[in-house]
A and B are shown apart, each in its own frame.
Chain A
Amino acid sequence: MALDRFLNRRARALDLPGVTPAHLLACGDNAGGKVAFAAMAVSDSGRQLWRRDLDWRAHDVIADAARNASAIIGRKPGPAALICDLETGAQRQSLAPLPNCTFDGHAVFSSDGARLYTTQSEGKAQIGHVAVYDVMTGAVSATWTSQGIEPHELLWADAATLVVGNGGILDRNATDPIESSLVWLDAATGTLKGKVALDEDNETLSLRHLVRLTDGRIVCGVQDQDFATDLRPLALIADMSGSVAFLDLPQDIHRRMMGYVGSIAADPSGSYICATSPRGGLAVVWTAEGEYVDAIDLPDTCGVAGGPEPYGFLLSSGHGARLPIHVDSVEGIVARPEALRLDPLQWDNHLSLVRG
């Protein structure tokens, strides 16, 4: 008993306010009978550290741990984005989109924390932009074309290069071919440095979610606008030279994913890739070499972040589940029921790991 009390006290001490969050998430809360939106920071033990209620739905919530900053990005069509204190969630700046544009849900900080790079779409034609904000003032410091339409996630390919997934979707309900691409842009000038666009066989694929492997290659999670007519790839590994390798899936798992990857992540060791499919209610894992490993069922799972340990991932679901999984080279995905945490909340599309 004494030991229990000691451990409990120790756990509480670890979760004291002021502690850097372990994960950031967007969520919906049904407590009032109608869904309310919020962004939230949680500790390693899963405890809520802060919650910022929002009058719009957030999509990605990201951290710049070195400067104790976070950013909450509005879900497409996002009316706003916020720069906040990482430890408390207190608002520092509110960012407005470019004229006639909306945020597309994703952003990245610059390595020195001075700038925030966002994707935005303009008007009905969804003309893609990368808009760069000064984190201190909230002012727009630069804008470039995203070299495509309906840009979604962007991230650092290397210290001087951003990679952007131009989703290309104008109408979620249409099955006709779309113009999607991955583009590598010079982070100082926006100049196009490399591009991947798919051929006719894969003309209905939307290239949307990204993660970087340790060797700099980019893994892209895909959504197929016409998944019924074929089993097209749902993830690929590409690089700036234009090379593309598709990741295979067993046919039964592939069908279950219903043409839809919602999020993609790599574990901290760079050994494994995990993609979620909320429509299939499962997450799948490949090795970084692109070999399929295993799948695990979790209804409505979408959020996935690597870590905190090597070979580990954290999954979140719209039914309030947060589930750590571990990839074992022999057994595949290992998940412990006692590690499952259930909250009376609906975790939204993405969660991010705060790296100290």
Chain B
Amino acid sequence: MTDQPNDKISRRQTLAALIAASMVSAAARPASAAGPDFGAFNAAFGAKIVLPAFDKLVTVTDAFAKTADAFATRPDAAGLDAVKQGFHGVADAWASAQQFRIGALAQGQRSERFAYWPERRNVVDKQYRALLAGKSKEGLALDQIAHASVAVQGLPALERILYGEDKGAELLQGDSAERRRAIVSALAANLHTIAVEAQATWADNLKDPTKAANSFAASPAEGTAQSYTNLLTITQIVAEQKLGVPLGGADAANAKPKAAEQWRSGRSVRNITLNLETAKGSVLASGGYADLLPADHAGLRGDLEKAFDEPIAAAKAVGDNFADDITHQDKRKAVTGLLVKVNQLRDLLRQQVPPAVGITLGFNELDGDGS
């Protein structure tokens, strides 16, 4: 017997609802109590936590694009300083938004286009050289950049131009100065466009009560589980990619300082701090995951405060010389201490919070098929 197409669609919809129901932990709540209202939570989380992060990204990328354009037409040392300042503003706003991958950033490779990292050396360098080799504004129209390799659409290429070996001097003098300024303008415009698209996607989603409740997933429960997975992912990225890979294990001789994120602009630890502060807000600020905690879990809220505050304090204590520090056996102790604190936070977020707030997490998507 062959099923009719409409029947198939309806069966899939029923299937999606059944599967979504499975993502709510049955053990998390007493049978007599009503389940958590994930739809209301997702709407509040989107409005209070996510949307402000993208609002900020729109504002700073807009300012950066204007600064870059002004510098392109009137290049001077003050203008270069302003562009560098603008780069840091954008990188700050990105570090405070990148966690929220579900939905807008996952679509159209927006996340990778904004900040492709970790970098595959031969890809970024090859694409960057090709970008520099063009003349004047060749290949730099907005839609051309938007379809270029993700490796050169955003922050990595900007960082190379502004904080490469010349520290940005070749933006003011030399044969490629005009081209470099044009690239900065084009990339700034591209980042602004991505930010506007991402903000608009979230804003539109929040306007529709059903979409806001589902939060880009098939159901409210799945939406909460997926956005919580985003939180686990950013803490995993901080621990494994931003700290673990540069540290290179127990021995300072194996450190890889150039594997640190944005080491050229000295932002490695600042990004970690901002990632952790954003993660903390997504849990403990109004609208955050802790709002889902039942009243009898007040102790867990306190544990979470402490578990976030300790690595944030440890990150601030590391200072700005991260890439250099990790190559010295003594100085790197502060960094390894930070890694320990982040891993303690990850344990708490992964093991204790999901059952307490009533969600079950994926088992396979988070950790691959072996270490």
Interface on A for B, CB 8 Å cutoff?
28, 30-31, 33-35, 59, 75-77, 104-105, 152, 171-177, 204, 208, 223, 226, 228-229, 255, 260, 262, 278-279, 281, 296-302, 317-321, 323, 328, 330-331, 334-337, 340, 342, 344, 346-349
**Assembled-state Cα–Cα distance A262/B368 (Å):** 8
Nearest CB in chain B: distance from A200 CB, A: 9
In the complex, chain A residues whose CB is within 8 Å of the CB of B118 = 173-175
Q: Does B18 sit within 8 A of A, measured CB to CB?
A: yes
Count B interface residues, CB 8 Å: 51
| Chief secondary structure at chain A's binding surface | loop
Instruction: Say yes or no: A318-B362 contact (C-beta < 8 A), given A174-B118, A334-B8, A344-B27.
Output: yes
Instruction: Say yes or no: A228-B112 contact (C-beta < 8 A), given A28-B363, A319-B362.
Output: yes
Contact B369 A226 (CB under 8 A): no
Contact B151 A229 (CB under 8 A): yes
In the complex, besides A175-B118, A228-B112, A337-B11, 18 extra interface pairs with C-beta distance below 8 angstroms are A33-B352, A76-B370, A77-B371, A172-B371, A229-B120, A278-B362, A279-B365, A297-B218, A299-B362, A301-B364, A318-B364, A319-B23, A320-B22, A331-B3, A337-B15, A344-B26, A347-B363, A349-B364
Q: Closest residue to B229 on the A side, CB-wise?
A: A300
Contact B363 A171 (CB under 8 A): no
Contact A331 B5 (CB under 8 A): yes
Nearest CB in chain A: distance from B226 CB, A: 8
Interface residue stretch chosen among B69-77, B208-216, B238-246, B283-291: B238-246
Instruction: Say yes or no: A340-B19 contact (C-beta < 8 A), given A279-B365, A318-B365, A348-B363.
Output: yes
Q: Does B207 sit within 8 A of A, measured CB to CB?
A: no
Contact B27 A31 (CB under 8 A): yes
Q: Does B340 sit within 8 A of A, measured CB to CB?
A: no
B11-32 interface code vs A (CB 8 A; 1 in, 0 out): 1101110110111011100000
Contact A300 B364 (CB under 8 A): yes
Contact A33 B2 (CB under 8 A): no
Contact A30 B355 (CB under 8 A): yes
B96-139 interface code vs A (CB 8 A; 1 in, 0 out): 00000000000001001000101111110000000000000000
Nearest CB in chain A: distance from B75 CB, A: 31
Interface on B for A, CB 8 Å cutoff?
2-3, 5, 8, 11-12, 14-16, 18-19, 21-23, 25-27, 109, 112, 116, 118-123, 149-151, 218, 222, 225-226, 240-241, 244-245, 259, 351-352, 355, 360-365, 368-371
Contact A175 B119 (CB under 8 A): yes
Instruction: Say yes or no: A76-B5 contact (C-beta < 8 A), given A262-B364, A337-B11, A344-B27.
Output: no
| Chief secondary structure at chain B's binding surface | helix
| Contact of B364 (CB < 8 Å), options: A105, A152, A255, A278 | A278
In the complex, chain B residues whose CB is within 8 Å of the CB of A281 = 362, 365
| Contact of A229 (CB < 8 Å), options: B3, B116, B355 | B116
In the complex, chain A residues whose CB is within 8 Å of the CB of B360 = 30, 319-320, 346
Q: Closest residue to A303 on the B side, CB-wise?
A: B364
**Assembled-state Cα–Cα distance A135/B241 (Å):** 41
Nearest CB in chain B: distance from A262 CB, A: 6
Nearest CB in chain A: distance from B294 CB, A: 15
